[in-house]
Amino acid sequence: MNKEKMAEWLAEGSIAIPRLLLNHYKKIGLTEIEFMLLLHIHSYIENGILFPTPAQIAERMTLTPTECMEVLRRLIQKGLLSIEEHMDERSIRIEKYSLKPLWEKLVHHLLSEAFYGEQERSEEEEKSLYTMFEQEFGRPLSPFECETLAMWVDQDGHDPAIIKAALREAVLSGKLNFRYIDRILFEWKKNGIRTIEQAQSYGKKFRKHQQSARPAQTQGEYKRTVPFYNWLEQS
């Protein structure tokens, strides 16, 4: 094989295809033909040919120039390709293709997907929150209790995980009622408790303090293995 010819082939370089585009081109409304045509336009632009003709594009594809023209028109209508004017080095106004609409559409799709994905996760977490409360209470929640739960999330900004932790704290203390749980959440928020770990540490600290404050129990007296912290007694 002619080494010079091989070096010439390698000198043509390569084209980088963003993996995000490869994974999501269908979701932003591109067909395989449209996707391939855009890649060829991208390749031409990389090589300094800013406005390849339908005939030039057709040379690289299994389409006729007329078919390429139709695909180009469709891409512009979809808002995935645009034609811009700019001045060249000789101050001559020329036209060029721009892939900026394609990248903007891809970014918009990814941001929307992330937003709705987060929204779905949040809704699922809230559903599991209601389910957990009903399981612990052993009955369906009343409209007022459902409204209180929604208020903790929407108005007070408590993370569902923190609300679940407060529910477990109430169960542990043997005081399973919404007023008690609300007081726990109030105390945690007032003291900057934001994570499960902080909540657990805070509860243990007060239980330890409460246990040490109790008078010594007489021999034979029943000894509770888990010291409880009464949140309602806190100011």
Band the pLDDT of 94: cuts 50, 70, 90.
Answer: confident
Rg (CA), the chain: 33
Helices and strands per DSSP (H, E), number in the chain: 10, 2
Residue 166: both structure tokens together: 């407060």
What are the residues whose beta carbons fall under 8 Å from the beta carbon of 5, sequence distance 6 or more?
A: none
What topology is assigned to 141-215+223-233 in CATH? Answer: Arc Repressor Mutant, subunit A (1.10.10)
pLDDT for the residue numbered 219: 43
Query: Would you say residue 117 has pLDDT above 80?
Result: no
Burial class (CB within 10 angstroms; exposed 0-12, middle 13-18, buried 19+) of 175: middle
What are the residues whose beta carbons fall under 8 Å from the beta carbon of 131, sequence distance 6 or more?
A: none
Query: Would you say residue 216 has pLDDT above 80?
Result: no
Architecture of the domain whose range is 13-105:
Orthogonal Bundle (1.10)
Q: Higher pLDDT residue, 114 or 40?
A: 40
Most confident among 76-80, 156-160, 173-177, 215-219 (mean pLDDT): 76-80
Q: Higher pLDDT residue, 8 or 186?
A: 186
Q: Higher pLDDT residue, 126 or 21?
A: 21
**pLDDT tens for residues 11-53?**
555 667 788 899 999 999 999 999 999 999 999 999 899 999 9
Band the pLDDT of 207: cuts 50, 70, 90.
Answer: low
Same fold flag, 13-105 and 141-215+223-233: yes
pLDDT for the residue numbered 13: 58
What DSSP designation does 63 have? S
On average, the pLDDT of the chain sits at: 81
What are the residues whose beta carbons fall under 8 Å from the beta carbon of 208, sequence distance 6 or more?
A: 227
Q: Higher pLDDT residue, 64 or 111?
A: 64
- The full set of domain ranges for the chain reads 13-105, 141-215+223-233
What are the residues whose beta carbons fall under 8 Å from the beta carbon of 52, sequence distance 6 or more?
A: 40, 41, 44, 97
What are the residues whose beta carbons fall under 8 Å from the beta carbon of 10, sequence distance 6 or more?
A: none
Specify the DSSP element, H or E, that contains 82. Answer: strand 82-87
Task: Over range 64-90, report the average pLDDT.
Answer: 92
Query: Would you say residue 226 has pLDDT above 50?
Result: no
For residues 152 and 158, give the distance between their C-alpha atoms in angstroms, rounded to a whole number.
6
pTM metric for this prediction: 0.50
